[in-house]
A and B are shown apart, each in its own frame.
Chain A
Amino acid sequence: MSNTPAARDRQPILSVSGISKNFGGIQALSDVNLTLYDKEVLALLGDNGAGKSTLVKIISGAYARDRGEVFVEGERVKNGSVQDSKRAGIKMIYQDLALFGVLDVTSNLFMGEQIARWGIINKRAMRERAREILGVLRTTVKSLNQEVRTLSGGQQHSVAIGRGVYVGTRAKIIIMDEPTAGLGIEESAKVLELLKEIRHQVAVILISHNLDHVFEVADRAVVLRSGAVAGEVQIAGATASEIPSRKNEIVSLMLGAV
């Protein structure tokens, strides 16, 4: 359970309890508990192979869990079903963004979730909504008919995030897997800006290796080591002088040197 002062009395939006996962004899996760509150950004940290990706894939339904449960606002989420996780409001933004490079911006935003009646799509409504979504994310594109592969990295992130947060079933929890990996400084800044924008709407689980980015946007950090929760560090409210020691604390938890 969280010891965040602000969060203590709140109802969690997501609670994960006792998750275990085995891959052919290798224990990837053992008895992981996690709580996420509404409109909170939770950083999920850990060294390579600590189990971060496995955990978020279980939460998003891409993997089935061996043991444990996932609840969204107290309702149990079906085991290993992307559809059910989506219905519950859990949406994942993949590291490669899972965009459709040769298709235009509107098609990408609404893929699988077109505005339609009796199977006939309403292109006009989709374009209007696409403009709104890009407006909220303060993103400009030359044209909505542009192929997404011709957009900049930041613009592509806007499309992926816009699709996750604003299209289809209402998103409650957004999972972002290494959203700034491989991006330049300017593009990373744009992605962090997008993240600050969407946190007014949803709770976010952020996987990242960049502690500077984590301290810029996250409220809390949970550290995984060898498939188990190694500890939790409060980030929101840390003063400038406290930040270095908290970063050290995180690194120690990651490496197991406590």
Chain B
Amino acid sequence: MDISLGGITGANVYTRWLGRALSWGEKYSTFMILVTLIVIFSLLSPHFMTTTNVRNIVIRVSIMLVVAVGMTLVLISGGIDLSVGSVAVMSSMIVGTILKDHGISAAPIAILAALGAGALVGLTNGLFIGLFGVPPFIMTMAMMMIARSLAEFIQRGVVPDVPVEFSRFFMTNIAGTVPPLVVIAAVVALAGHLVLSYTVFGANARGVGANASAAKFCAIPVLRYRLALYITSGMLAGLAGIMVVGRTNSANPGALKNFELEVIVGPIIGGVSFLGGRGTMVGTIIGVLIIGIIGNALNLLGIEPYWQMVTQGAIILAAVFLDYARHRKQ
């Protein structure tokens, strides 16, 4: 435990104003980065601010955001979930295969099966981490490999011929503006925000992440929280898989490469800490938008794939450094 001595007393007006300006700057820094990126990319490419491209970004970000909401809860509780990308792919293969074989009338069953599979992976993660003390990084990395293999086991290759009604449901604009896919993400993010900031569950989950043994002394059932959070993360990854099928009208066992990294880096950029306890859902939304916009712009500007990888690596480094700097500050 850090113990620092005494607070600053007798700070004069100027230092107080400076302090306020700095804390304001920190509070809104990621938002300023987001705005700056939008301005820069708009200037660099005439295609960036077009309706089609903005729609593309929003849809892509929606799928990421759904998973990032679960990731934020897991990170804040002191864990990490590397299995989400593979779970999303597995879920999309389940949905795609069921729909292809049984038609659109099987959609409810397909959706339930995909969510159930996600929940099952989450339960497994939570049990091994919470009950047997396997480090979250190791456990969920193992699940990442297992779930990816299961996705390929379900169907070797791409499932192209998913009934078109399925994607029509997800992608047809409501009131001529936003498709249901985006509405789903907005609802999930709002729910995540409310749970994290206004409920006993959210407050206690934060406690588990900030100091798990102290949480036990406060009579918080830590294992139950871990289970609930990893199950939530798994189910939201499952939901993202369903949304992927809804967007592309197909399922591909090789899809969503590096997806888990994007949905971890997004929240971290938004102020969620690898060390647990800290972060907000609003920060996560901004962070995921930044990641989504950069990814889109790099494609739009015709940057070669290996330079895109370098950029993504640099962003991960920057995010980790930012987390470290924030934590060290005091």
Contact surface of A with B, Cβ cutoff 8 Å: 82-83, 86, 92, 94, 96-103, 107, 110-114, 116, 119-121, 123, 141-142, 147, 149-153, 156
A102 with B278: CB separation less than 8 A: yes
In the complex, what's the smallest C-beta–C-beta distance from B232 to chain A, in angstroms? 15
CB <8 Å contact, B273 and A98: no
- A102, B198: Cβ atoms closer than 8 Å: no
> What chain B residues lie within 8 Å of A116 (beta carbons)?
199-200
Contact at B213–A98, with CB atoms within 8 Å?
yes
> Cβ of B203 and Cβ of A107 under 8 Å apart?
yes
CA distance A119 to B330 in the complex (A): 33
User: Which of these, A86, A107, A121, contacts B207 with CB under 8 Å?
Assistant: A107
Report yes or no: B211 in contact with A98, Cβ–Cβ below 8 A. yes
Residues of chain B within 8 A of A82, CB atoms compared: 216-217, 219
A-B contact pairs, 13 of them (CB 8 A): A94-B217, A96-B1, A98-B213, A100-B277, A102-B327, A103-B207, A111-B203, A111-B218, A112-B215, A112-B220, A120-B199, A150-B7, A151-B4
Tell me if B200 and A98 are in contact (CB < 8 A). Answer: no
- Check A113/B218 contact, CB under 8 A, given A149-B1, A152-B4, A156-B3: yes
CB-defined contacts of B217 to chain A, threshold 8 Å:
82, 92, 94, 98
Give the Cβ gap from B159 to chain A, nearest Cβ, in Å.
41
User: Scoring B residues 175 to 203 as 1 if CB is less than 8 Å from chain A, else 0, what string do you get?
Assistant: 00000000000000000000000111101
Q: A121-B199, A153-B5 are in contact. List 6 more A-B contacts (CB 8 A).
A: A83-B219, A99-B214, A101-B2, A101-B277, A112-B215, A119-B201
Known: A149-B2, A150-B330, A153-B3. A114 touches B210 (CB 8 A): no
A101 touching B210 by the CB < 8 A rule? yes
Shortest 3 CB-CB contacts between residues of A and residues of B: A112-B218, A98-B214, A100-B210
Q: Is the Cβ of B1 less than 8 Å from the Cβ of A97? A: yes
A107–B213 CA distance with the chains assembled, in angstroms: 16
Counting CB contacts under 8 A, is B302 at the interface?
no
> Are B207 and A111 in contact, with the CB atoms below 8 A?
yes
Most A CB within 10 A of own CB, among B2, B273, B275: B2
Bound-state CA distance A113–B218 (Å) is: 8
Q: Is B6 an interface residue (CB 8 A)?
A: yes
For the complex, what is the distance from the CA of A114 to the CA of B231, rounded to whole Å?
24
Q: Interface residues of B: mostly helix, strand, loop or mixed?
A: loop
Judge if B284 is at the interface, Cβ distance under 8 Å.
Answer: no
Q: How far is the CA of A142 from the CA of B211 in the complex (A)?
A: 23
Alpha-carbon separation in the docked complex, A150 to B4 (Å): 6
Size range of the interface on B? 20 to 34
Chain A nearest CB, measured from B61 CB (Å):
28
Nearest-neighbor residue (CB-CB) of A102 within chain B = B277
B60 at interface by CB-CB < 8 Å: no
Measured CB to CB, the closest approach of chain A to B143, in angstroms, equals 28
Q: A107-B203, A111-B203, A112-B207 are in contact. Are A101 and B1 (CB under 8 A)?
A: yes
Q: In the bound complex, do residue A119 and residue B219 qualify as a contact, i.e. CB atoms below 8 Å apart?
A: no
Known: A98-B213, A102-B277, A112-B215. A152 touches B6 (CB 8 A): yes
Closest to B216 in A: A82
Which residue of chain A lies nearest to B217 when distances are taken between CB atoms in the complex? A98
B-chain residues with CB within 8 Å of residue A103 when the two chains form the complex: 206-207, 210, 277
Q: Which residues of A contact B201 (CB under 8 A)?
A: 119
In the bound complex, CA of A152 to CA of B218 (Å): 22
Contact flag A112-B213 (CB < 8 Å), given A102-B273, A152-B4: no
Docked CA distance A151–B199 (Å): 26
* Least CB distance, B120 to chain A, in whole angstroms: 26
State whether the Cβ of B204 lies closer than 8 Å to any Cβ in chain A.
Answer: yes
Which residues from A are CB-within-8-Å of B207?
100, 103, 107, 111-112
Question: In the complex, how many angstroms separate the beta carbon of A214 from the nearest chain B beta carbon?
Answer: 24
Closest chain B residue to A98, Cβ basis: B214
Q: Tell me if B206 and A107 are in contact (CB < 8 A).
A: yes
- Take A100-B210, A100-B277, A102-B210 as given contacts and tell me if A112 and B2 are in contact as well, using a CB distance cutoff of 8 Å: no
Shortest Cβ gap from A61 to chain B (Å):
10
Rounded to whole angstroms, the CA-CA distance of A167 and B261 in the bound complex is 41
With a CB–CB cut-off of 8 A, which chain A residues contact B8? 142
Measured CB to CB, the closest approach of chain A to B2, in angstroms, equals 4
Closest to A62 in B: B217
CA A103 – CA B278 in complex, angstroms?
8
A103 CA to B206 CA, complexed, in Å? 8
